Structure 1
């Protein structure tokens, strides 16, 4: 089974656990979500899912995304000034750089940043359980 198929199956199981029926429309959306290597918003997911199953409605996309988020298998990313974007939760931890000029979202991981966050939390008497880091940047000229 490919990674996309495995991820889609995990999302399908999460929906079923939430009492959501797996229709052709939802299966198309799950396939698109599982195969996304970017951070699409609901409209883009809708467009891509309709390429597979032309009866997918935007309402189905929103309802399905909400159920997937509630089950913890999809992250809703709310970047400043942008519509919410989505990614599956199966990827290793990473942070994001958002290009303010193009809207492009890039993933990165820095052990230096991770270590510094843990050190700061420890100095204040805490342990990092979860965090999200977003850097809003412009290209240097």
Structure 2
């Protein structure tokens, strides 16, 4: 029982086939979880814990291989945080660049920043250095609202 519409599935099949992959039931289950979990920045282990409920025969190695494959076809992006864990999110094809992230150093919460804050800086860099920027990744580290309030009450 797939949650993705037929158009999205067809696009996935084409992307995978172009790279020599097939859309197996296990891969489909993982992709559906990623789509359902948009904005959650899941680790491979968290993804595994969620996907093994509807797909108990799946192994952690399959999840890791599928994540690697999904990165290769640019369906997902990897976000590496200070805690050493890689987290994954759906690649939003509508964005020119990846969005920015606010990462709480206390609780590990990840907040997505809507909008690209660096357009004018990019233009300046491209002009000055004659360098065509295609993408960037920006992470801001600090304290989220809840941890800031806790810090004030301590």
TM-score class, shorter-chain normalisation, is: 0.7 to 0.9
CA deviations over 1:82-137 (Å, ceiling 9, x no partner)? 31111121253410011111111111035543323332342333332211100111
- The answer on whether the counterparts of 1:11 and 1:68 sit within 8 Å (CA) in structure 2 is no
Instruction: Tell me the equivalent position of 2:143.
Output: 138
Of 108, 112, 120, 1:115 maps to 120
- The answer on whether the counterparts of 2:100 and 2:116 sit within 8 Å (CA) in structure 1 is no
How do residues 56-135 of structure 1 correspond to structure 2 at under 5 angstroms?
A: 56-90=58-92, 92=95, 93=97, 94-135=99-140
SS in 2 for 1:135: strand
- The answer on whether the counterparts of 1:77 and 1:84 sit within 8 Å (CA) in structure 2 is yes
Instruction: Tell me the equivalent position of 2:31.
Output: 30
SS in 2 for 1:86: strand
CA deviations over 1:60-82 (Å, ceiling 9, x no partner)? 10001111111122111112223
Alignment size in residue pairs: 139
SS in 2 for 1:52: coil
SS in 1 for 2:15: helix
RMSD of the TM alignment (CA)?
2.3
> Rg larger in 1 or in 2?
2
For residues 73 and 41 of structure 2, the distance between their equivalents in structure 1, rounded to whole angstroms, comes to 19
Q: Which moved more, 1:80-89 or 1:17-26?
A: 17-26
For residues 139 and 128 of structure 2, the distance between their equivalents in structure 1, rounded to whole angstroms, comes to 23
- TM-score of the two chains, using structure 2 as the length reference: 0.76
For residues 66 and 120 of structure 1, the distance between their equivalents in structure 2, rounded to whole angstroms, comes to 32
For residues 33 and 118 of structure 1, the distance between their equivalents in structure 2, rounded to whole angstroms, comes to 33
- TM-score of the two chains, using structure 1 as the length reference: 0.82
